[in-house]
Structure 1
Amino acid sequence: MSNTEVAPDEVACGAEPLATVSTEVLHPRDVPLGGPRAIRVRRTLPQRDRSMVGAWCFADHYGPHDVTGGSGMDVPPHPHTGLQTVSWLFAGEIEHRDSGGVHAMVRPGELNLMTAGSGICHSEVSTPSTTTLHGAQLWVALPDADRDTPRDFAHYVPPARTLGAATVRVFLGELAGDRSPVATFTRLLGAQIDLPANGTVTLDVDPSFEHGVLLDQGDLRAGGDDLGIGDLWYQSPGCDRVELTNRGDTPARALLLGGPPFEEQLVMWWNFVGRSHDEIEAFRAQWQDQDERFGEVTGYPGTRLPAPSLPNGRLRPRRNPTQRGAP
């Protein structure tokens, strides 16, 4: 859940004149992923009080899970609309199949970016050789002008760069002079940051971006806030740096996410990103009716995932505090 303070701490930073920048710490909730033997994940986005960081609209962090007993990841074919999925592993291996005809492996330190556009379905299964499963699953909302783009898939292995005490891998966007070649539909930042014991780093960032730091491991302080595993530290636009300190005697690792505030209102339900209740209802009906919008996954040894029932009330658009006109 969100920071319970009514008025979160503010810091002044950035180029002259100094801007007032707010920060907060978002804490994850524990949810199951998959079927009866589901693994547990820590879900930090979306939350009631903050749905997004830039166009990043969903963040799950999981592991490390010992899956030698066969309790790994097995997510049957399921649909998506209006988003891109970012799969990022720290340990293990996941087999990806989608209705665009892609069959790929997700491995540690390698970006797999799937574009749903107007509709796609895919499955995710940890491989038999995986003993430990540990990673993050992230979604990026597509702007209205591009949300009906065709299905697509990109793979990229970012190089490890040294920045002061830190090791940085930029898988989306640009940081510290390193730019990912992977195209996105809004300006984004996605990077893995590793810090040794007692290490610190100051990252120069775009002051027009919101930023989030998702802690994977270690005793990390972002700005002036201490983070727990799975916590997401948020910093509003107006600051040209992110300061990270590893306060522990073991290495720390985090994901740095960023982007300009996403000004469009979204309706998010299950695996769909849309703009209205009626649109989401139509997506659900099409999935249940096996409409060609989503296509089919070949090679998955099982049935596809049925959609849950819609809630009794109408789904309402979500608005972030940083969006213009937000209450």
Structure 2
Amino acid sequence: MGVALREILGEYREEVELEELRGTIAVDAFNALYQFLTIIRQPDGTPLMDKDGRVTSHLSGIFFRNLNFLEKGIRPAYIFDGAPPDLKTETVARRRGVREAAGERWKEAVERGDIEEAYKQARASTRIDDAMIASSKRLLDLMGIPWMVAPSEGEAQAAFMARQGDVGAAASQDYDALLFGAPRLVRNLTVSGKRKVRGRSVTVRPERIDLAAVLAGLGLSREELVEIGILIGTDFNPGIRGVGAKTALKIVRGGKFQETVQEKAPDFDPGPVQEFFLNPPVTGDYRLEWREPDRDGIVAMLCGEYTFSEGRIDAGLQKIGAKAGQRTLGDWF
């Protein structure tokens, strides 16, 4: 879920069109896959599946969403999480429990015919397994889109790549990338468009957030922004009960971070969490290279193995010139 900074970032969240994001973007892969698996479902919450019962929602999202990016001049690079830090152990276990409980409630809702509740619980039960990760990487390879596995958190690696100037922004639904130091964060990249929210249709647009503008506007350093995150709660600590973003901002501005932690959570040492956000495990050993899509390989995988419609796949590929005589991928950039 990330850190709940939304309450103090309102004026710094700039809605933009996809075309305005033209350029290179490092995408938090797991975050994107969860979005695809959550959104691309049947009315009762059942994910898209092939004839053998294998989930294909993530493949549909990767293929069609990235075609849209490429057509709009966006070059994505996907960053997969590596080994989670020990600080995240409790969060991982808690999320697993939440998903399992939601899965049981989904089955119960389906049995009693409560489609709305079934859809809600199915979304909450979304999980990613090794087969999904492997098939996602394989499809990205066939599409000519680079990916890498981070030493630890994908958002931290994406933020590092953005600081290095190798990509124009980091993309994630979570605000953690700002704490990791991403100069620019793009939200809603993988979910923009028409969406059903609480039973009504809404248009979700990408948001761009500039870290320098946030820090200047709030009168904070990045270290102090991390302190706010710790007070609210992150993936690596539970936060201080009753402290939201506005209260945390007031505490940090008043120079009372340490005092508050010592008073409200005397057994908690914020040092390791601060260190992880400010100096996370990252690597400069990567190469970003976009290649021509392998049309035959994509069709063989999606249509031959996963029973996608060849007509739809071929029509999508034609948009980026994956057939002879049409524009090549390089012509889009």
| TM score, norm. by length of structure 2 | 0.29
Over alpha carbons, which structure has the higher Rg?
2
Q: Judging by fraction of residues, say which structure has more helix.
A: 2
Q: 1 or 2, which has the higher strand percentage?
A: 1
TM-score (norm 1): 0.29
Higher relative contact order structure (alpha carbons within 8 Å, sequence separation ≥ 6): 2
